[in-house]
């Protein structure tokens, strides 16, 4: 994931953004400290999604099917509710802090103009590969413009330059760039493109950043920085591939010069915010949940009044026009 490279780029190009980002962490920590009951009351929130699929018309692989896209939504609903079948693989040491985030996700039924949509926008492009410069987020640059991020989580799916699997903005970014980008090869629960990233966990991970999660290693070597969550052990570096529990990356930090106690029993390498393969990840933690809820309350509450998941009423009132515009509907049991 290149969210932190992206963040560094944003900071470099905009010193004010760097300052704002520093302050936002203090803001978030203060919010959590002053809301001790945060997360005690359980309430499921559904996040409306629009997927912008930016595809190369010359490559049949780029044209993900609607099924592949909805399989990604299924993965999000499993991972963020801890309904994932592989939750039994969480080591006992960490299972007591494994969390149901209580976020659900659904493709939009209504576009910004109030018209019916299936939440999937397909846009052909002449750009062969996209990078961190955000071109996929702008129609004039070969991508597709965002829908208003107060009402939608925008996800752009496209071919990304190697080795980027995806990246996300953080909640401090409320511009039209706000959203998540995922390589088409890692999107959805598919196994035809990748043997490592075929379970849809790249989007699970990136949306974690969109809700202000950091990588479990804090993106600093040898435990110099924590990820802002007490229940994820300090971790010396990010983990790649798959690991056998218990595993600690501390051995990569010798001689250990950092004063922080970094000698954990095991890294939480199976956390969605590490870098391991999809099949080796299976949890978010309670403190990550609190961070996400705080980020939601501070930055994303407009989604609660979004109309995106309410199908337009004219749709059901005018069956004649409905059929002409949306013949696909006939597949799903026509009452006539
Ligand atoms: Zn990441
Ligand atoms: Ca931690």
Which range among 1-10, 27-36, 253-262 shows the weakest confidence by mean pLDDT?
A: 253-262
For the segment 10-21, the average pLDDT, to the nearest whole number, is 91
Which range among 17-31, 250-264, 293-307, 318-332 shows the weakest confidence by mean pLDDT?
A: 318-332
State in Å: Cα 322 to ligand 1 middle: 41
Helix (H) or strand (E) holding 73: helix 66-79
**How high is the pLDDT of residue 335?**
32
Query: β-strands 45-55, 153-158: how paired?
Result: parallel
pLDDT digits (tens, 9 = 90+) for 54-106: 999 988 778 899 999 999 999 999 999 999 999 999 999 999 999 999 999 99
State in Å: Cα 94 to ligand 2 middle: 13
Cα–Cα distance measured from residue 289 to residue 98, given in angstroms and rounded to the nearest whole number: 9
Assess whether 206 carries a catalytic annotation: yes
- Which ligand has the minimum distance to the alpha carbon of residue 182? 1
**How high is the pLDDT of residue 42?**
84
- Which ligand has the minimum distance to the alpha carbon of residue 225? 2
pLDDT digits (tens, 9 = 90+) for 146-162: 999 999 999 999 999 98
- Which ligand has the minimum distance to the alpha carbon of residue 168? 1
* 219 Rama sector, left if φ>0, alpha if ψ -120 to 50, beta otherwise: left
Spatial contact of 131 and 161, defined as CB atoms under 8 Å apart:
yes
- Which ligand has the minimum distance to the alpha carbon of residue 218? 2
Q: Which of 25, 104, 206, 329 is catalytic?
A: 206
**How high is the pLDDT of residue 271?**
98
**How high is the pLDDT of residue 328?**
43
**How high is the pLDDT of residue 336?**
29
- Beta-carbon neighbours within 5 Å of ion ligand 2: 226-227, 229, 232
pLDDT digits (tens, 9 = 90+) for 168-196: 999 999 999 999 999 999 999 976 677 88
Spatial contact of 102 and 110, defined as CB atoms under 8 Å apart:
no
Global pTM?
0.91
Q: What is the mean pLDDT of the chain?
A: 90
State in Å: Cα 96 to ligand 2 middle: 15
For the segment 111-135, the average pLDDT, to the nearest whole number, is 96
The alpha carbon of 168 is separated from its chain's Cα centroid by a whole number of angstroms, namely 7
Tokens 């936002």, residue located: 24
pLDDT digits (tens, 9 = 90+) for 192-232: 677 888 899 999 999 999 999 999 999 888 888 899 999 99
Helix (H) or strand (E) holding 291: helix 286-295
State in Å: Cα 277 to ligand 1 middle: 13
State in Å: Cα 215 to ligand 2 middle: 9
State in Å: Cα 293 to ligand 2 middle: 17
């Amino acid at each position: 994931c290149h969210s932190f490279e992206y963040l560094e780029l944003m900071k470099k190009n905009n010193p004010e953004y760097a300052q704002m980002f520093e302050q936002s962490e203090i803001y978030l920590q203060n919010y959590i400290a002053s809301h001790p009951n945060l997360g005690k009351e359980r309430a499921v929130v559904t996040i409306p999604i629009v997927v912008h699929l930016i595809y190369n018309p010359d490559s049949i692989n780029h044209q993900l099917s609607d099924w592949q896209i909805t399989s990604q939504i299924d993965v999000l609903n499993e991972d963020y509710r801890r309904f994932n079948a592989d939750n039994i693989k969480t080591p006992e040491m960490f299972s007591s802090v494994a969390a149901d985030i209580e976020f659900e996700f659904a493709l939009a039924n209504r576009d910004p103009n109030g018209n019916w949509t299936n939440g999937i926008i397909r846009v052909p492009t002449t750009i062969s590969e996209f990078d961190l410069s955000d071109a996929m987020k702008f129609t004039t640059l070969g991508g597709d413009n965002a829908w208003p991020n107060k009402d939608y989580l925008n996800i752009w799916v496209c071919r990304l330059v190697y080795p980027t699997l995806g990246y996300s903005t953080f909640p401090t970014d409320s511009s039209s760039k706000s959203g998540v980008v995922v390589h088409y090869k890692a999107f959805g629960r598919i196994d035809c493109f990748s043997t490592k990233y075929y379970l849809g966990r790249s989007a699970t991970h990136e949306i974690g950043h969109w809700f202000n999660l950091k990588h479990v290693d804090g993106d600093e070597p040898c435990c110099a920085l924590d990820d802002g969550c007490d229940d994820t052990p300090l971790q010396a570096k990010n983990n790649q591939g798959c690991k056998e529990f218990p595993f600690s990356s501390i051995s990569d930090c010798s001689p250990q010069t950092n004063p922080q106690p970094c000698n954990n029993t095991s890294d939480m390498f199976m956390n969605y915010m590490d870098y391991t393969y999809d099949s080796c990840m299976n949890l978010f933690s309670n403190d990550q949940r609190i961070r996400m809820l705080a980020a939601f309350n501070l930055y994303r509450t407009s989604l609660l009044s979004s109309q995106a998941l309410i199908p337009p009423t004219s749709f059901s009132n005018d069956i004649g026009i409905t059929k002409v515009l949306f013949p696909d509907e006939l597949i799903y049991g026509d009452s006539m």
